[in-house]
Structure 1
Amino acid sequence: MICPHCAQSLLLKERPGNRCSKCGRLYAFDPKTNPLGLNDLRVVRIASALTDRGQLSCTAGQLWYALARRSLRESHGKLGCAVALIFLGTVVGILGLGTGVGIAQAGGLLALLAAAGFVVAHVMGVGRGKPRIERSSFCTVSLARWQIVYGSLPSGILDDARYPPRREGAAQRTLVLCRDRSIAVFLHNAGLDVVSEPSQLSGDGPVLVLHDADAAGVLFAHWARGAYPGRVVIDVGVPVGAVFGVRKAVPVRGERPGADVVTSLKSLAASGELSAGQVKWLERGWGFPLVGVPPAKLLAVVTRAVQQAEARQDAAAVGFLTWPDQPGDQTAPGGRR
C-alpha cells in the first residue's frame, strides 16, 4: 500500500501496527486488515467526491455506504479459496493414488468438495448485499480510529451521532419526517426543518416523508398518510420502482420481514402499487437505503418537494386551487379575465 503521509510504497512487513516504517507516522486503515479493504487515501478520495470537493457537508452514514458500495456487489464465496483447494485436493489425491493411502485420497476428495462449495457460493451470490462492516460499527469503531490518528473526521463529514436536535422555532412551514438519523442530520445542516420521530411533528403544514426503499420504508410511508388526518402528507421516497433492477443502485440485504409485513406488501401488489417482482425482492430482505442516494441529488429532490408543497399551500390560502367558486364565474383573481 501507499503511505498516506510520505507516499512511499510499503510491503506488509514494512507497516507493522499501522505505522509506516519509512516516515514513522501512523495511519488509520490497512487494506489487509480492514473489512472493506480500505486505505486512508481511498477514504479521502471518496469523501471528497461525496462532498463535491467540500462544497456539501455529508454524514458518516453516507460515507459508510459510499465506501461499502463496492463490497456490496461482491459474493462472499471466494474463488481464490476454491482454486487453492482444487490444487491441494488434486495434489493430495494423486499422491494418495500413487501410494495407495486411502486417507490421502479421502482428504483430496474433501478438498475438491470444499472447492466446489466455494464455486457454487460465488455463482449463487451468497452474501451479496451484506455489508462487510455494519454501518453502526463503521461510525463508532472505524471512524473513531480515524479520529485518533488525524484528530477529526474526514474533511466535509459530519458526526451524525452527536449532532444537535431540531431547531426550536424554525420558520419552515413544511416538515420533513425522516427516521434515518444520518439523513436527518444531512438535511438539517442544509437548512431544512427535519424531524426524526413522528412524535416531534408540530403545526399543521405539509409533511414530506423520506424512507428507505425496503419493506419497512414502504409501509412507514403508508402509515404516515393515515396518521395525520387533515395534513398533507407527501411520500418523497425512495420509491422501490426507482431502484429495483437498476444496476447503479447497489442494494443492501437485511433481515427478511415478518409474515404480517409480507401480507401488507402483497396487498400493495394487489392494488398495483408494487409489482410481484418487487414484492418478492422486498420479501427476501432487499432494499436500498437513503444514505445510498447521492447527497447532491437527494438535497435537490427534497428542496424541490418542499418548494412545491409550500407553493401549493400558498395557492390554497388565496383560493387559487378552489377558484372559480361558482359555475359560470370566469373572472380571474384581481378582476382580470
Structure 2
Amino acid sequence: MTYIPEPDRYQKMKYNRCGRSGLLLPAISLGLWQNFGDDVSHLKKVEICTTAFDLGITHFDLANNYGPPPGTAEKAFGRILREEFAGLRDEMIISSKAGYLMWPGPYGEWGSRKYIISSCDQTLRRLGVDYVDIFYSHRFDPETPLEETMLALDQLVRSGKALYVGISSYNASRTREAYAILKELGTPFIIHQPSYSMLNRWIETDGLLDTLDEFGLGSIVFSPLAQGMLTNKYLKNIPSDSRASKNRSLSTSFLNTENLERIHALNAIAEQRGQSLAQLALAWVLKTKGVTSALIGASSAQQVIDCVGALDKLDFTEAELSTIDQYALDGHINIWAKSSEHER
C-alpha cells in the first residue's frame, strides 16, 4: 500500500531553533545507528521511519559507517525515500557523517580532505539524493590539520552537496578552533552532536554547553537513553536480543551494580511523574539550555511512540531536579571520549 502521512503530524511535535540559525529541528530526531543494517528486516525499518514521520519527526540522522555492514543504513533509508517518502524530501532534514572506518587502506577513515569528500559522494549515491541537509565531521582527527577537515566541509557546502555542516564528539577546545576556521570561511556551521545523558554528563564539565551558547550553535545529543540503559530494558536482567547481550557498543560492564542502582532510582522518579524511564531521560536532556534535539534510536515503532510521549511532560520542579541529580551521575559509559582528545 502507498504510504500516506498523517495530516496532523506537525501538531504532534515540538520544533526548536538550531542555535541562531534559521533551521528548526524536531525536539526528538531519529537516528539510524542501530537496527538499520542487513540484520534487520526492511519492513521493520519502514515501520519505524513512517511512524516517526507520522509523529512529526522530520530529522533522520545517519553516518557512512552505520549498518552492519557499513553503508547499509544509508542504502536502506535511500530505498525508503524512494518508495515510502517519495515527494516528501523537502519536508525532511537528512544528515550524515564521516570519520570512522569505512573502507580499507589509508584513505578510509578520519578527517582528511580525501576521505571527507569521497565519503560524502558515496553517501549521496547510497541515499539517492543530490544533497544532505547537514554533513558532520564524525570525530576529531588529531593527525590531520583541523583546517583541512574544515575546508573539506566548506567545499561540500559550496559544491551544493550539503546545506549546513556540523561536528560530533569534539570537546569545547576543539569546537572553538573549528568555529574560528569555519567562521572565517563563511561556512554555515550550525550544530554539534555530542553524547549526553543522565549517566554521561561530560558536556557540562567540559564546558561544551557554554561554548555552544557563546557561538550560537545548536546541539543534537546522541545516546540520551545511554544506549538503552535508561529504559525499562535492563531493570530486571539482560535480554538476549539486547545490545549488551551482543556486546554491540554497550558493554555488560556498564551494567554494574552502581549503575543499576542509579537506574532503578531514576525509574522510581519516572513512575512518580507518570512517565516511563525513557521519557524521563529524554525530558531531562531537553530541559538543558542549548539542547535543540534529542537523537533516539529505535528497534520498533512502539519505542518511537513512547519516546515522543516524553514531550507531554517536559517541566520539572526544583525538588525533582535535585532528587534526579543524586542519581544522574557519570557511569563511565562514554565510549566516544577519545574522539574529543588528542590521540588516536
With normalisation by structure 2, the TM-score equals 0.27
Q: Which has the higher contact order (CA 8 A, sep 6+)?
A: 2
- The structure with the greater share of residues assigned to helix is 1
